[in-house]
Structure 1
């Protein structure tokens, strides 16, 4: 039925878009990470930075092979979350950072990944939680020692940007679902009408036989 075809196609294209988004995010993340890597623990850079890159590539490959990216997306979200939590520990310099943690570019993407693979509510919840945690990290020396106001502003920007994308995806998804429901209803009506017409023709045929 077209109903299943449309919804599956939409899901596939959304997952490809998310995978491309994750892959594209590696570019600004790399530029942001370059000046910070010398001050980060090597184990953290390899485990978190390398893991995020592998998860992004994995999502891209799976999406174009027509397979679901949920497992890779959850790995991505986990790595970004663990990376943010352990950022102050991984920072090896006694001097404050000169810029915000490069992980900030991945936080919004992680929220979108969770929304697409686990539901909108999970995406919104993660965006808020990640925003709060990022604000806390920003106020530490490893996060550039931002003021409370600056940290809150960063949190709001992060949450709002993620929310806009999540809402947009939700609107598109609901529009497709509504169209599919309308199509299914019309198909059912057409099927019912065809059955009624066939029954009426059969009744007329039987009436003709009886009268003969």
Structure 2
């Protein structure tokens, strides 16, 4: 396995969700709701305190303070839940239930009926209770709660304990409370569903991304294995089968040793950085490999200096060049001139392996033949390079290997 394949395989095993974070999620939205609810509970409780003290002379000296203290503690619990998210829902449920009990039992705590100008102290906390219910209850329970609180308040205001105001005033106060509560409930439900949809979309995208990474890693690995098998194993076996002279047998033995070393190195490769290979080492490797074949290959021109390249790219260039030369020896025919050139351009490397042999039509090559497709074209693509096969029947063959792959012209891209 090459270094590139290992890196790609490691990427497939990594969890992409660790590096993908949606701007809005259900958890972040619930956290924001908890903080806003805590602020509202503490704020409305503090604002209501002066009105409560003014009403205390008209209320029962025991039950009224007990009720207000219990409700006040529930408000403090909601406020404290901003620092402990796991306690937010229980605190909100407790607050909503205690407020409803305080609202229903308010007439029992009144010692002297309130005047029409006085407002029962639970009025200021009606929407604290409805919003707490909207956040903590199931949607249908929250809807029932938001409908019940205005009704109870209307009945309270019509009674002497609540000031015995007229029906119009009581309805206005009740409708006002109901509208605010229902609006908050609708907003909460809509935002939560939207955030849940974002979570689902993100999870789906991460699953698809992970699957695409695994498929890409599998494809890269398949290309590497196919290339190794074709280059190192099949070529060695074919050469050994055709060896009928001492020189040919010696060459087949050398190719067999190289194949074994190649397979052992591929199996021993592990994850890590992709070290660079000096240009001189890559150049000598290509020249040595193509000039030790059974048929002569002329080295026409070789640049003396060039950039260092990653090991994966160096392996791809050297192996693809050797495979191109092997293909030429096997299929170009007899009395054919073959040559190789290595030069540098645009901070990259360009290798050309060519011959003036019989040539071929690439579209007629069977899919089962791996030499050009796997060992040259796809091998270079896997290393971020480019391989061009230029050939026609009777016109010879030219294999152009480039690393890195040329970037498309921006002006050309804009016209597409």
TM-score by length of 2: 0.47
Residues 171-210 of structure 1 aligned to structure 2 (within 5 Å): 171-210=190-229
* Residue 42 (str. 1) matches residue 61 (str. 2): yes
The counterpart of 1:85, out of the listed 98, 104, 109, is 104
Matched, 1:102 2:121: yes
What is the Cα deviation at residue 61 of structure 1? 1.6
From 128, 131, 147, the equivalent of 2:150 is: 131
Paired residue for 2:132?
113
CA apart distance, 1:38: 0.8
Q: Is the Cα contact below 8 Å between 2:78 and 2:95 reproduced in 1?
A: no
Distance in 1 between residues matched to 2:88 and 2:164, nearest whole Å: 36
Distance 1:39 1:17, change over 3 A: same
Specify whether residues 176 and 94 from structure 1 end up closer, same or farther in structure 2 by C-alpha distance, changes over 3 A only.
closer
Tell me which of 45, 61, 81 is aligned to 1:62.
81
1:97, distance to aligned residue in structure 2 (A): 5.3
Match of 1:168 among 187, 197, 200: 187
Gaps of 5+ in 2: 1-16, 234-416
Find out whether 1:23 has 2:23 as its counterpart.
no
Task: Report if aligned partners of 1:115, 1:121 keep a CA contact under 8 Å in 2.
Answer: no
Larger Rg: 2
CA contact (8 A) 1:48 1:80 kept: no
- How many Å apart are 1:94 and its aligned residue? 5.0
Which structure dedicates a bigger proportion of its chain to strand? Answer: 2
Matches of 2:182 and 2:189 in 1, distance apart? 10
Per the TM alignment, residue 80 of structure 1 is displaced from its structure 2 partner at its CA by 1.2
CA 159–192 in structure 1, closer or farther in 2 if over 3 Å, else same? same
CA distance in 2, matches of 1:109, 1:121: 18
Q: Which runs of no fewer than 5 residues in structure 1 stay unpaired?
A: none
- Using the alignment, how far apart are the partners of 1:97 and 1:89 within structure 2? 18
Greater Cα offset, 62-71 or 9-18 = 62-71
Residue 188 to residue 157, structure 1, CA distance change in 2 (3 Å)? same
Give the deviation of 1:146 after TM superposition: 1.6
In the TM superposition, what is the alpha-carbon distance from 1:22 to its structure 2 partner? 0.7
Residues 1:73 and 2:75 are matched in the alignment: no
Give the secondary-structure state (helix, strand or coil) at the position aligned to 1:42. Answer: coil
**Alignment partners' CA distance in 1, 2:73 and 2:215:** 58
Structure 1 or 2: more helix by fraction = 1
Higher relative contact order (CA 8 A, sep 6+): 1
How much does 1:163 deviate?
Answer: 1.5
CA contact (8 A) 1:100 1:144 kept: yes
CA distance in 1, matches of 2:101, 2:95: 10
Given that 2:71 and 2:102 are in contact with CA atoms closer than 8 Å, whether structure 1 keeps it comes out as no
Task: State the partner residue of 2:303.
Answer: none
Question: Aligned in 2, Cα 1:182/1:7: closer, same or farther, shift over 3 Å?
Answer: same
| Residue 144 (1) aligns with residue 200 (2) | no
TM-score, reference length from structure 1: 0.89
Range moving further from structure 2, 189-198 or 89-98: 89-98
